[in-house]
Amino acid sequence: MRVFRCSSLLGSSLLAAIALWLGHSLTGAQAKVFNPTVYTLDNGLQVVVVENHRVPAVVQMLWYKVGSADEVAGYSGLAHFFEHLMFKGTEKTPQGAFSGVVRRNGGNENAFTSWDHTGYYQVVPRAQLPEIMAMEADRMTGLTLSADDIETERKVVLEEWRERVSQNPGAQLGQAMDAALYQNHPYGRPIIGWKREIEALNYDTIRAFYRQHYAPDNAILVVAGDVDPKDVLQLAQQYYGPIPRGNVAPRVRPQEPSPVAARRVTVRDERVREPTWRRAYLAPSQNSVGKEHAYALEVLAQILGDGTVGRLAKSMVRGAEIAAAAGSWYDGDRVDDTSFSLYVVPVVGVPLDKVEAAVDAEIAKLLADGVTDAEVAAIVRRMQAAAVYARDSLQGGARALGEALANGGSVADVESWPDRIAAVTPSAVLEAARLYLRPERSVTGELLPSEPAS
């Protein structure tokens, strides 16, 4: 079943978090491969063009610098709910007409909401670019939302919540861990929102959110494919150029205090047959204070947590045979402080305390002995190979650049990514590990079966 209009919500599940991490390593590695053409319109819209002439197709992605972490407390889920409503039509383009153009041309479309951004994209034959650009520009300010639209879509969003959260104890653990990890920052709220707050979002709040955040000076247009950058810039000027600036206020969010307490959360659910163990450490992102450690943390995530050859997999899956899977990932592409995370799926019958002891032993060894030159060199080589693979799709470059720009980074950050990864040294990895893999920065999560009735 196809996931619709919401791919980044995947962040709420363990599996998707792994996917996110995988995507991320490709993300940066595209540097110096895409050589994007960059332009800013007078109204503030950033335009990024990536040429890829292998298929006569084009992807348009419009990224807004607004995500769930920009919601006001009490209105969680608003950014994501609004993403759904962006498909409800405008005066010029009635509901379904935009999707109709995409489908009649064999294209596909979707949208996604994350903590820091909301994005909309369409893949179409290159000849359709002007048409879909006109429609995407039109709905930046032209939505005609009725109360009925909102009520029908609220039902859809609640079904999505049931499917992703209520049916999935692992997702509930993820939400509980986020809520514990971020004691002050809105990253502690789920992207899809708390159910009771989704139920209460009203028409006026929704319209106000639209006016406040959907404007050219809060957006990035990325076009990738079989196009000439000059033509794209001209089209962007024509369709997006006339939209007035929104003078969107800069993001000001509550930041995390220095954590002092190791935390532990446990979710018990009768549907859980096999326990899962997870841990998250508060860590800087590529854009927050401490960002100079971001590259070392990326390398560390792979040395420790690569699913097949990482240290955890070697010692716990292959060596001691206590885990079916074990790994780590670092979610560096955020605006504010983020997490460095570990997970273990124990083999049947192995208790979580044994799992946790094994992970802690690996971390203690890491903090005592650091990592080797050979380990770092292998990761650097692998990440540079990823740069070649990353060119092998239409959307890869568009996603990498759009995400970086939407989350407070720059094209230059993406461009220099392989060099910065290559500059990571074993001592930098050890320093980052000692700074951030500390108990007081951590939340340990356990997913367990219900306790037997007493």
Interacting residue with other proteins among 105, 144, 172, 183 (CB under 8 A): 105
Ordered DSSP codes for 317-329: IIIS--EEEEEEE
- In the numeric block, which tokens belong to residue 369? 């002995």
What amino acid occupies position 35?
Answer: N
Q: How far is the CB of 133 from other proteins (least distance, A)?
A: 17
Q: Amino acid identity, residue 229?
A: P
In this structure, which long-range contacts are made by residues 197-201, counting pairs with CB atoms below 8 Å and at least 24 apart in sequence? 197/74, 197/75, 197/76, 197/77, 198/76, 198/77, 198/81, 198/154, 198/157, 198/158, 198/161, 199/154, 199/158, 201/75, 201/77, 201/78, 201/81, 201/154
d(CA 425, CA 413): 19
Nearest CA among 424, 410, 349, 336 for reference residue 380: 424
| Span near other proteins by CB under 8 A; candidates 117-125, 293-301, 409-417, 423-431 | 117-125
Residue 335 or 401 with smaller CB distance to other proteins: 401
211 binds other proteins (CB under 8 A): no
Site string for other proteins, 336-355 (x = CB under 8 A): ---------xxxx-------
Which span (101-109, 182-190, 208-216, 426-434) binds other proteins, by CB under 8 A? Answer: 101-109
Q: Is residue 196 a contact residue for other proteins (CB under 8 A)?
A: no
Q: Which 393-412 residues touch other proteins, going by CB under 8 A? A: 393-395
> Are 347 and 333 contacting, i.e. CB atoms less than 8 angstroms apart?
no
**Nearest approach, Cβ of 165 to other proteins (angstroms)?**
9
Exposed e or buried b per residue across 87-100, where buried means at least 16 C-beta atoms within 10 angstroms of its C-beta: bbbbeebeeeebbe
389 in contact with other proteins (CB under 8 A): yes
Q: Kindly give the pairing relationship between strand 108-113 and strand 57-64.
A: unpaired
Q: Please identify which residue in 7, 99, 205, 212 interacts with other proteins, judged by CB under 8 A.
A: 99
Question: Is residue 87 within the footprint of other proteins (CB under 8 A)?
Answer: yes
Taking the C-alpha atoms of 297, 302, 305 and 309 in order, what is their torsion angle to the nearest 10 degrees? -160
Looking at 83, 362, 415, 446, which residue is catalytic? 83
Residue 54 is a binding residue for other proteins (CB under 8 A) = yes
Residue 3 found at the interface with other proteins (CB under 8 A): yes
Decide whether 72 or 127 has the Cβ nearer to other proteins. 127
* DSSP summary character for residue 336: S
Residue 443 C-beta: closest distance to other proteins, Å: 22
Phi, psi of 30 (to 5 degrees): -80, -5
Q: Which is nearer to other proteins, 125 or 439 (CB)?
A: 125
Should residue 230 be labelled a site residue for other proteins when binding is judged by CB under 8 A? Answer: no
- Candidates 22, 35, 92, 162; binder of other proteins (CB under 8 A) is 162
Whichever of 228 and 392 has its CB closer to other proteins, that residue is 392
Q: Is residue 378 involved in binding other proteins (CB under 8 A)? A: yes
Task: Identify residues 252-311 at the interface with other proteins (CB under 8 A).
Answer: 270-274, 306, 308-309
For residue 83, indicate whether it is catalytic: yes
Q: Shortest distance, CB of residue 34 to other proteins, whole angstroms?
A: 12
In angstroms, the CA 153 to CA 161 distance is 12
Asked if residues 333 and 404 have their Cβ atoms less than 8 Å apart, the reply is: yes
| 203 is an interface residue for other proteins by CB under 8 A | no
Size of the site for other proteins (CB under 8 A): 65
Task: Decide if 281 contacts 304 (C-beta within 8 A).
Answer: no
DSSP string, 38-72: EEE-TTS-EEEEEE--SSSEEEEEEEES--GGGSP
Stretch (H or E) spanning 229: helix 229-239
Using CB under 8 A as the criterion, what x/- string covers residues 67-86 for binding other proteins? Answer: --------------------
Q: By CB under 8 A, is residue 317 in contact with other proteins? A: yes
CA–CA gap between residue 203 and residue 133 (Å, rounded): 27
Q: Which residues belong to the active site?
A: 83
Residues that bind other proteins (CB under 8 A): 1-4, 54-57, 87, 96, 99-100, 103-108, 123-125, 151-160, 162-163, 166-167, 270-274, 306, 308-309, 314, 317-318, 321, 324-325, 345-348, 378, 381-382, 385-386, 388-389, 391-395
